[in-house]
Amino acid sequence: MEVCHTIDDHDFENIHQFLSLRAYWCLNIPKHTLKTALSNSLCFAIKNEDGELLAFARVVSDYATFANLLDVFVLPEYRGASVGKTLIKAIVEHPKLQGLRRFTLATKDAHGLYQQFGFKAPKFPNTNMEIYLPNIYRD
C-alpha cells in the first residue's frame, strides 16, 4: 500500500463514483463541485502496488490552527485489512497538520476508528453551530 497526495483523472472518476453513488453524506455530488473541493484540499489516497485506489480522504485546513477531515472512505473489498487505519495514521501524522488547535470530523458510524487516533466528541458541543443542507446535491 502506498499513500499519495496526487489525484489523477482515473482516481478522480473512482472517487466521484464512490462519493456520488455510495456516500450518504454527499450523494449526487456534481463532478465540478467535487473537482473544486479536491483542488482546495489536502488529499490522501491509498493505492495498491498496481496503482488501484483503495481508500481516500481529504482535509481542509489553514495549516496553523484548524483542520477538518472529510470524504473518508475505504472501498468495501478492502475494509477490515487495516487500510482505514493506514489512511487515518497518514493524515494525523502529516507534517502540515501538526500543532493544530482543533481537528474536526463528522461520522455516523466510525467513531471507534477515529478514537484510536485521538479524536473525541466535542468538548463543548453546545458551542458548535453549522449550516447543514443535506439535500443540496439532489435534483
Q: What is the pLDDT along the chain (139 residues), one digit of tens a residue?
A: 889 888 999 999 999 999 999 999 999 999 999 999 999 999 999 999 999 999 999 999 999 999 999 999 999 999 999 999 999 999 999 999 999 999 999 999 999 999 999 999 999 999 999 999 988 998 6
Q: What is the pLDDT of residues 95-134, one digit of tens each?
A: 999 999 999 999 999 999 999 999 999 999 999 999 999 8
Q: What is the pLDDT of residue 139?
A: 64
Does the domain spanning 2-127 belong to CATH 3.40.630.30?
Answer: yes
- State the cell numbers at 32: 465540478
Residues 6+ apart with CB under 8 A from 59: 41, 42, 44, 67, 68, 69, 70, 91, 94, 97
**Side by side, which strands form the sheet with 53-61?**
2-4, 42-47, 53-61, 66-74, 102-105
Give residue 4's pLDDT: 86
Residue 55 bridge partners (DSSP): 46, 74
In one letter, which amino acid is 29?
I
pTM score of the predicted model: 0.94
Residue-range domain boundaries for the chain: 2-127
